[in-house]
Amino acid sequence: MVVRSQVEESRRGQNYGLMIGLTGLIVSLVLAYLGHDAVGGIIGGSTLVGLVTVFVVGRTKQREELQRKGNNEVEE
């Protein structure tokens, strides 16, 4: 039951991340098309950098937690 809820939470987070990312990229493309290249580039770049950062930090924390849990099981 716990694993199922964690999977659902992860899937929901990925869906929200996809929606936010696509919205940011679409807004940046529309702004660039309308002649606001700098603002479109900033929004598009920050959207991509933000999403990549979230996934990298999430993976790092997940890896650390798994290592910590693995070490606790060995000590017991």
The 8 Å CB, 24+ separation contacts for 11-17 are 17/51, 17/54
Predicted pLDDT of residue 20: 87
Residues in Cβ contact with 20 at an 8 Å cutoff, skipping those fewer than 6 apart: 47, 51
Question: Digits of tens for pLDDT over the chain (76 positions)?
Answer: 777 888 888 888 888 888 888 998 999 999 999 999 999 999 999 988 888 888 888 888 888 887 887 766 555 4
Domain that holds residue 53: 2-75
pLDDT of residue 72: 64
Question: Phi-psi category of 69—alpha, beta or left, where left has phi over 0 and alpha has psi -120 to 50?
Answer: alpha
